[in-house]
Structure 1
Amino acid sequence: MATSISAVKGAGLCSSFHGGWGTSMMGEEQLLLARSVPTRVRFSTKPVRLQPMMKNINEGKGLFAPVVVFTRNIIGKKRFNQLRGKAIALHSQVITEFCKSIGADAKQRQGLIRLAKKNGERLGFLA
């Protein structure tokens, strides 16, 4: 089934393109474009890695958050994180001793530690 050109034009499917497929740039324009494009692309030897964002979702919320933030600003972030780490370790030891005294197993102890962390976040201790 052959379709004639006049039938295609009559159907409204004709194109407004009347040029050739060759380049429209000649001489100086082509040289200027060629000079503006870098011939070498340099890659850094070390890939750039994004730092993971590990922020507390309750940052600044909770009853004790203002006190925690104030203390961190007074003594400095490094020293504050050291003290917080020691406090968390002591609290975990207290939970462990409590679990030993009532005969709770390791799974229950881990559950209590997770509960303590969630409560600390809600109260603002981890702000």
Structure 2
Amino acid sequence: MAATSVSASPFLGSWATTIAGEDHTLLQAKAAPPQVRMARPIRPRPMMKNVNEGKGIFAPVVVVVRNIVGKKTFNQLRGKAIALHSQVINEFCKSIGADSKQRQGLIRLAKKNGEKLGFLA
């Protein structure tokens, strides 16, 4: 039996040569396409609109009043009403001895209820 040298082994040849019939170095050059950086896609700007529009039982009334008195006046009136309601909640929390965390929770609950009923439409 003759000793086979390492160079006679079929595994030292290129897989590219046996499969594609081309030189391995050429395949490596073809396999790696140039890196091209793509620009970031342009995102549309978020629209500032009321997500509560048309929801809730009082929403139609709120929309009609806003259209009659104007947006600026309506927002001023709504701000005053919200401030008064927050004062009532604060006074209630003082009378029952609730801490600030519970008071904040009640104010959040009032806001959620106002959204559901349509007062923030």
1:66 aligns with 2:51: no
Whole-angstrom distance in 2 between the partners of 1:108 and 1:72: 32
Q: What corresponds to 2:51 in structure 1? A: 57
Whole-angstrom distance in 1 between the partners of 2:45 and 2:76: 22
Whole-angstrom distance in 1 between the partners of 2:45 and 2:79: 22
Aligned with 2:81: secondary structure?
helix
1:105 aligns with 2:102: no
Provide, for residues 40-84 of structure 1, a one-character-per-residue CA deviation record: whole Å limited to 9, x for no partner: xxxxxxxxxx86545443221100000000000000001100000
CA-based RMSD of the aligned residues comes to 2.4
Whole-angstrom distance in 1 between the partners of 2:47 and 2:95: 39
Q: What corresponds to 2:83 in structure 1? A: 89
Unmatched tracts of structure 1, length 5 or more: 10-49
Unmatched tracts of structure 2, length 5 or more: 1-12, 23-43
Runs of 4+ with deviation above 6 angstroms? none
Normalised TM-score (structure 1): 0.59
Identity of aligned residues (%): 82
Q: What corresponds to 2:118 in structure 1? A: 124
Normalised TM-score (structure 2): 0.62
Aligned with 2:119: secondary structure?
coil
* Gap change, CA 1:51 and 1:97, over 3 Å in 2: farther
Aligned length: 85
Whole-angstrom distance in 2 between the partners of 1:55 and 1:120: 17
Whole-angstrom distance in 1 between the partners of 2:95 and 2:119: 27
